[in-house]
Amino acid sequence: MMTLQDISRWLTTAWLLLSALGAHAAPLSYAQALNRAQQQDFQAQRWQALSDAALQQAHGADSWDDPMLSLKLANVPVDDWALDQEPMTQVMLGVQQWLPRGDSLSLQQQFFQLQSEQAQWQHQLRRLWLSREVGRLWIKASWVWQAQQQLAEQKQNWQQLRQVVLQRYESGRSQARQQDVVAIDVQLQRLQQRLLTLRQQQQQLQAQLANWLQADVGELAPLQSSLEEFHREAEQPDWRQHPQWQLAQLAERSSANRVAFEQQQQGPRWRLDASYGWRSNSSSNSDMPRSDFASVGVALALPMGERSSRQVRAAIARQAADSAALQDSERSLSLAYATRQADAGGFTQRWQHLQQQLLPSLRQHYQLHLASYGQGRSELAELVQSALELSNTELQSLALLRDIWLSRNDLNYFHNNYPIAPAQTLSDAQPLSFARPSTDANKERLP
Contacts of 220 (CB under 8 A, 6+ apart): 27, 28, 138, 141, 142, 145
Kind of pairing between the strands at 90-98 and 269-278 = antiparallel
Q: Check residue 347 and give its pLDDT.
A: 92
Q: What is the rounded CA–CA span in Å between residue 83 and residue 90? A: 7
Q: What is the rounded CA–CA span in Å between residue 78 and residue 89? A: 11
Q: Check residue 395 and give its pLDDT.
A: 92
Q: What is the rounded CA–CA span in Å between residue 341 and residue 335? A: 10
> Which pTM value belongs to this model?
0.75
List the beta bridge partners of residue 300: 270
Phi, psi of 311 (to 5 degrees): -65, -40
Q: Check residue 3 and give its pLDDT.
A: 57
Q: Check residue 317 and give its pLDDT.
A: 92
Say if CB 236 and CB 117 are below 8 A apart.
no
Distance from chain centroid for Cα 220: 21
Q: At what angle do helices 178-213 and 30-39 cross, to 10 degrees?
A: 40
Q: Check residue 324 and give its pLDDT.
A: 92
Domain locations in the chain?
A: 43-220+239-284+293-415
Say if CB 137 and CB 203 are below 8 A apart.
no
Q: What is the rounded CA–CA span in Å between residue 267 and residue 131? A: 49
Q: Check residue 214 and give its pLDDT.
A: 84
Q: How do the pLDDT tens digits run along the chain, 447 residues long?
A: 455 455 555 555 554 444 444 445 688 888 889 989 988 888 888 888 888 888 888 888 778 888 899 999 888 887 777 777 777 888 889 999 888 888 888 888 888 899 999 999 999 999 999 999 999 999 999 999 999 999 998 888 888 888 877 777 666 655 556 777 788 888 889 999 999 999 999 999 999 999 998 888 888 888 877 676 676 665 778 888 899 999 999 999 999 998 988 888 888 888 999 999 888 776 665 556 778 889 999 988 888 777 778 888 898 999 899 899 999 998 999 999 999 999 988 999 999 999 899 999 999 998 888 888 777 677 778 888 888 899 899 999 999 999 999 999 999 899 888 875 433 332 333 333 223 333 333 333 222
- H or E segment to which residue 121 belongs: helix 104-171
Q: Check residue 424 and give its pLDDT.
A: 33
CATH number of 43-220+239-284+293-415: 1.20.1600.10
Say if CB 319 and CB 252 are below 8 A apart.
yes
List the beta bridge partners of residue 95: 69, 274
Q: What is the dihedral of CA 399, 400, 403, 404, to 10 degrees?
A: -140
Q: What is the DSSP letter of 441?
A: T
Q: Check residue 43 and give its pLDDT.
A: 85
